[in-house]
Chain A
Amino acid sequence: MADAAPPDGAGKQPDGAGSSGGVASPGGGATPGGGAATSLAPVAVGFARALRAAGVDADPTRVHAFVAALDVLAPERTRDVYWAGRLTLCSGPDDLARYDRVFAAFFAGVAVPGRARTARRVQVTAAALATPGSGTADDEAPTVTAVTRHASAYETLRHRDVARLDDHERAELHRLLRAFSLPGELRRTRRRQPARRGPVDRRRTVRALLAAGGEPGRLHRTSPRPRPRRVVLLVDVSGSMAGYADALLRFAHAAVRARRAPTEVFTLGTRLTRVTSELAHRDAETAMRAVSAAIPDWSGGTRLGATLREFLDRWGQRGVARGAVVVVLSDGWETGDPDELATQVRRLSRLAHRLVWANPRAGRPGFAPTAGGMAAALPYCDAFQAGHSLASLEALAAVVAGAATDPPARQHDVATGPTLSAQERGGRDA
């Protein structure tokens, strides 16, 4: 790290241009505070290292900016150093608390604690997958069934409950999950593209006219360029979902990686966690490890209403859910107040373009959405899907892409989720 911000050069050259990092600045030397910053550079680098250990992305460019800021401020007080670092090294509200903690520890000479979240209950790794449901106190945690070795593995696998697979089948499932992704429903945008018909494109028409020396020629036309709607996946990772959460997160990983539509992924449980950036890693295993490190409430209880509310307050209302296709992947098992859940789902449905609820338990024979949470949320959903097998996830992907949602599940052998009747849908504005 130190080579990116050499102690003697760092104090002289601010990183105002960002991209001109290594260029020597002939006229830029001899600033009054140069000496101070030079002596501060090693400290700054050490501080940044401590920050990185705490999870703040203090990369060399930012350290460079930090040193430049110290140079200008010629800090005499700790507060100046504090602000110079906070303004240059942090990049989001989540960083601020970590920054404060590390700053206090570092400049008080205390050993800086390592990663914020070291104790986690369950690792989503291959080892953990071998025993689904391990480390959870859930009675319904599925067990690996005895029926395993099947011929025509793919067709069987397509309709199997993902919570009841063995290692081998699970690996196959993960391979298949990666192979498809959410294409996303299209919407019109303000960007336009050349087209055969539509309003005249003045710019291109006149440009062509100028190129032809002023001779009027063909009229160029444009049409709005459709783009996929944003997709927001809200994955329930509470204890009752332990058998499914891993597969559903892999589904989310496939959706994020495909980049067909802008995709945001959050996990719900007792807390809300945004895992979009963790899922952005190309390799599914690495991404899942990052996700498991990021989720503090893995396999805990469920406070769906409260976490949905947190999502809406912090993200949804500001725009993440606005006009998006929102998919809640949850069994609707709510330990909190069902009324609160209903209120929040109604809010969500007003913001979202379409609200799809995928319930893994809907794939089980005899399922009826009568549990408090699910029954409360259902009137505000545009589509209700199963989400327990590869086939049902494929169907879910089709629904997200704008396929007809009635009937919600097309598979003959998937226990069809209940179709919303007109009256049931009455709660939602048409």
Chain B
Amino acid sequence: MSDAAAGTEEGRGRPPRVPAPSPAPAASAGRLPLGVDGPAALAARLAEAGYLADEGLATAAFLTLALRRPLLLEGDAGVGKTATAAALAEVLDAPLLRLQCYEGIDATQALYDWNFPAQVLHLRTAEAAARRSGRDADPRDERALEAELYDRRFLVARPLLQALETDPVVLLVDEVDRADDEFEALLLEVLGDFTVSVPELGTIRAAVPPVVVLTSNRTREVSDALKRRCYYHWLDHPSYPREVAIVRTRLPGVTERLAREVVSAVQTLRGQDLLKPPGVAETLDWTAALVALGADALDADRVVATLGAVCKFREDQDRARAIDVATLVGRAVTDG
């Protein structure tokens, strides 16, 4: 911790340094929330935050916290990749900085930007002040003014830079597969040694590396160089008991019976070769919709009425309706 803090530098004009070694595991492990000494303890803390992690995800999250190596989560849409970052933020009692990636995102939206209007205003104010005092132009003043223009206060920090300057913090780089290659290269630089180089200011280094979670839906293969710097975890659909537990944790108003029936129906649908198999997010949406309708059990009418919450393709809805709803419900009851 101490030698990591010594690595902080916000000096301007200094040449970028060779990156210091990242903090030792023991040092950063000391920063873990009290009582978290292993994946199981972290899973318990995540559960308190309303997120039920399985063993693999708990281990991944624990290693991410302990070694501050970014975590790359891949998996089908709606399995809870983004929610992982939110739950980690809650466990750490840290702000969650979210960077949504898209094709064409660049440094000014992800790293930093200069506040040009404020800079111009500063320049004009300085000119007006000089005029009023009636002094001749002094080259030293000009140089000072120029330096002032690129002062830290005119720098607008975007999520990546904010994350380096905040501690503790959880940085979520969402849907990194949507960004293009250029942006991925930029990420490599930032996540590799947790520094950002601003030409006018120098290198800004994170005192403590932020907790970073990247998510990808695999619309594009994330580059191997980025993967090599991350822990990789493939997030699968949860098992039946876990999903029931998730529903009951996230929607306290739901009855045990409805939770079991809905989860069972969703898991049946997942086995039906749909265009878009429903994720946990859809399970929760569907249950919430049923609860809003005052349901405490699944029946054919309500399934048909709320199918739009779980099947988002017309073909899938047709297919879901083609399954005898009574069978779906009946199976759910016997499962329960």
Contacts and interface: CB of A to CB of B under 8 A. Distances in A.
A209 interface: yes
B25 A72 contact: yes
Contacts of B113: 203
B22 A73 contact: no
B93 interface: no
A207 B117 CA distance: 10
A430 B265 CA distance: 38
Nearest to A88: B231
Contact of A16 (B67, B117, B120, B233): B67
Given A87-B232, A202-B116, A206-B120, A319 B24 contact: no
B69 A15 contact: yes
B193 interface: yes
Contact of A86 (B21, B39, B56, B217): B56
Nearest to B74: A93
A17 interface: yes
A419 interface: no
A166 interface: no
A320 B216 CA distance: 13
Contacts of A86: 56, 233
B292 interface: no
B123 interface: yes
Given A13-B21, A214-B120, A18 B217 contact: no
Contacts of B38: 73
Contact of B120 (A83, A210, A315): A210
A87 B19 contact: no
A87 B275 contact: no
Interface in A39-91: 57, 59, 61-62, 65, 68-69, 71-73, 79-80, 83-84, 86-88, 90-91
Contacts of A14: 22, 24-25, 67, 69
Nearest to A62: B228
Contacts of B20: 20, 23
B127 interface: yes
Given A25-B24, A28-B24, A189-B103, A65 B224 contact: no
B59 interface: yes
A190 interface: yes
Contacts of A28: 21, 23-25, 27
Interface string B208-232: 0100000001111100100111011
B66 interface: yes
Interface string A195-222: 0000000110011011001100000000
B55 interface: yes
A87 B60 contact: yes
A31 B26 contact: yes
Contacts of B191: 18
A19 interface: yes
B173 to A, nearest CB: 15
A319 B220 contact: yes
A17 B123 contact: no
Contact of B275 (A57, A83, A209, A313): A313
Contacts of A18: 69, 191-193, 228-229
B13 interface: no
A366 interface: no
A17 B218 contact: no
A87 B63 contact: yes
A15 B24 CA distance: 10
B119 A206 contact: yes
Nearest to A347: B275
A372 to B, nearest CB: 22
Interface in A313-342: 313, 315, 317-320, 322
Nearest to A76: B38
Contacts of A69: 63, 67, 231
Contact of A65 (B59, B69, B275): B69
Interface string B44-66: 00000000000110011011001
Contacts of B193: 17-20
Best-buried of B18, B105, B116 by chain A (most CB within 10 Å): B116
A57 B224 contact: yes
Contacts of A80: 39, 59
Q: How large is the interface on B (under 10, 10 to 19, 20 to 34, 35 or more residues)?
A: 35 or more
A317 B312 CA distance: 13
B21 A17 contact: yes
A190 B63 contact: no
A283 to B, nearest CB: 20
Contact of A190 (B2, B21, B74, B104): B104
Contact of B123 (A32, A57, A65, A213): A213
Nearest to A15: B69
B59 A318 contact: no
A17 B234 contact: no
Contacts of A68: 25, 67
Contacts of B127: 214
A257 B74 CA distance: 27
Nearest to A96: B234
B106 interface: yes
A191 interface: yes
A86 B193 CA distance: 23
Contacts of A73: 38-39, 59, 62-63
Contacts of B219: 318-320, 322
A427 to B, nearest CB: 17
Nearest to A322: B219
Contacts of B19: 17, 19-20
Contact of B21 (A20, A202, A317): A20
B69 A319 contact: no
Contacts of B233: 86-87
Contacts of B39: 73, 80, 83
A317 B29 CA distance: 41
A371 to B, nearest CB: 26
Contacts of A190: 102-105
Contact of B218 (A59, A79, A202, A318): A318
8 residue pairs, one from A and one from B, having the closest CB atoms: A319-B219, A190-B104, A16-B22, A28-B24, A206-B116, A83-B59, A25-B21, A18-B229
20 contacts: A14-B25, A15-B69, A16-B68, A18-B191, A20-B22, A23-B18, A23-B21, A31-B24, A32-B26, A72-B63, A73-B39, A83-B56, A83-B60, A86-B56, A87-B56, A91-B232, A202-B116, A209-B120, A210-B116, A214-B124
Given A17-B19, A18-B228, 20 more contacts: A14-B24, A14-B25, A20-B19, A20-B22, A24-B21, A27-B24, A28-B24, A32-B26, A61-B228, A68-B25, A72-B67, A83-B60, A87-B59, A87-B63, A91-B227, A207-B114, A210-B116, A210-B123, A213-B123, A319-B178
